[in-house]
Amino acid sequence: MSSRAHLAGAIVLACLGLTACTGRQILAMRAHTGQSQTGAASSPASSAPFTGPALAATTDYPRNANAPRPEPPADYAKLKDPLTATSANLASGKQLFDANCAPCHGTGGAGDGPAAAALNPKPADFKTPIHAKLPDGYYFWRVTKGGSVPPFSAAGSAMPPWEGSLTPQQRWLVILYVKSFSASK
């Protein structure tokens, strides 16, 4: 009797174990699917259109460069670049970019400037498909405040705030140029 009860107990335990295991596997599969979608969508090598959310309330960016970006504060969220991508504006944007941003972000915008090797988190690679989907307000917030505000400050971001050295007009010019790196994505 007691060995039967023991056996039954073992079977119940084994079933529980199996169930738990299956549950964990399902969770793992879900997490994996989510991850590979984000990874594929944001991978610089991918030519697939970006489908994930470009912004999220909770995210592990900048530790994970493929994660959605944090939502900008309300006073930035609705801003639109007042300038258009004329060749004159893009040329001015390029001048500002090469002088101020290229040391970290690289002249081609791939995040591979001479200072990049020493930085963690790495400077953003502007050529990924998520960069074509980020709203103007996000760009303006980031260029204005840089890594000086949460959640970027906690991650040790070296992105400088430009509000003291570039006028709003200059920030919008450089943003036009930054967006041109991902324009075809």
- Using rule CB under 6 A, residue 174 touches ligand HEC: yes
Q: Exactly one of 41, 55, 90, 124 binds ligand HEC (CB under 6 A); which one?
A: 124
- Using rule CB under 6 A, residue 147 touches ligand HEC: yes
- Alpha carbons 35 and 39: distance in angstroms, whole number: 6
Question: From the CB of 103, what's the least distance to ligand HEC, in Å?
Answer: 5
Q: Exactly one of 121, 129, 135, 137 binds ligand HEC (CB under 6 A); which one?
A: 121
Q: Exactly one of 68, 69, 81, 133 binds ligand HEC (CB under 6 A); which one?
A: 69
Q: Exactly one of 101, 133, 144, 173 binds ligand HEC (CB under 6 A); which one?
A: 101
- Alpha carbons 137 and 142: distance in angstroms, whole number: 9
Q: What are phi and psi of 147, to 5 degrees?
A: -95, 15
Distances in Å between the Cα of 40 and the Cα atoms of 11, 35, 98, 130, 138 are 42, 8, 30, 11, 22
Q: Which is nearer to ligand HEC, 36 or 120 (CB)?
A: 120
- Using rule CB under 6 A, residue 100 touches ligand HEC: yes
- Using rule CB under 6 A, residue 173 touches ligand HEC: no
- Using rule CB under 6 A, residue 105 touches ligand HEC: yes
Looking at residue 29, its amino acid is M
- Alpha carbons 74 and 70: distance in angstroms, whole number: 12
In the block, tokens 């002249």 appear at: 107
Q: Return the closest-CA partner of residue 60 out of 71, 69, 52, 51.
A: 69
Q: Which is nearer to ligand HEC, 115 or 132 (CB)?
A: 115
- Using rule CB under 6 A, residue 178 touches ligand HEC: yes
Q: Return the closest-CA partner of residue 35 out of 5, 14, 57, 60.
A: 60
- Interacting residues toward ligand HEC by CB under 6 A: 62, 69, 100-101, 103-105, 115, 119, 121, 123-124, 139, 142-143, 147, 152, 157-160, 162, 174, 178
